[in-house]
Amino acid sequence: MLTGCNRSAFFMRQTVTFRYIYTSSLDLKNRISMKQTTIVWQSNLINTTELVHVEELQDKIVVSGQILGEMDNAPVEAQYQLELKPGWVIQSVKIDWKGNEPFSHHLLKNADGHWSLPNGKVLKEFEDCEDIDIRMTPFTNTLSIRRLQLPVGEPNTMPVLYFHLPEPKISSVLQRYTNMGDGIYKYENLTSDFTSFIEVDESGYVIDYPGIWQRVLPKNPHDRQLDAQRQFSSALISNVSSDHLKLRDNIYKNLVGSWDVTAVNIVPGGEDVTQKGEWIFAWVLEGRAIQDVWIAPKRALRTKDTAGPFNRYGTTIRYYHPELKTWKIFWHNPVSGAYNEMEAGLKDAEIEQTGIDKDGNHLRWIFSNIQENSFEWHAEISYDEGKSWQLEAKFSAKRK
Residue 223's pLDDT band (cuts 50, 70, 90): low
- Quote the mean pLDDT of the chain: 88
Cβ atoms of 27 and 59 closer than 8 Å: no
**pLDDT for 55-113, tens place per residue?**
999 999 999 999 999 887 889 899 999 999 999 999 999 999 997 789 999 999 999 99
How confident is the model over 261-290, as a mean pLDDT? 94
Cα–Cα nearest to 294, from 341, 343, 322, 261: 261
How confident is the model over 325-354, as a mean pLDDT? 94
Distance of CA 37 to the CA centre of its chain: 24
Residue 5's pLDDT band (cuts 50, 70, 90): very low
- Percentage above 90 pLDDT, the chain: 70
Q: Identify the bridge partners of residue 394 per DSSP, sorted by sequence position.
A: 264, 378
What's the confidence (pLDDT) of residue 204? 95
Task: Show the domains of the chain with their CATH numbers.
Answer: 4-221 (no CATH), 234-399 (2.40.128.20)
How confident is the model over 267-281, as a mean pLDDT? 93
What's the confidence (pLDDT) of residue 244? 79
What's the confidence (pLDDT) of residue 74? 85
Residue 206's pLDDT band (cuts 50, 70, 90): very high
Cβ atoms of 364 and 353 closer than 8 Å: yes
How confident is the model over 131-141, as a mean pLDDT? 96
What's the confidence (pLDDT) of residue 376? 98
Q: Does 31 score more than 50 pLDDT? A: no
What's the confidence (pLDDT) of residue 33? 62
How many whole angstroms separate alpha carbon 392 and alpha carbon 27? 70
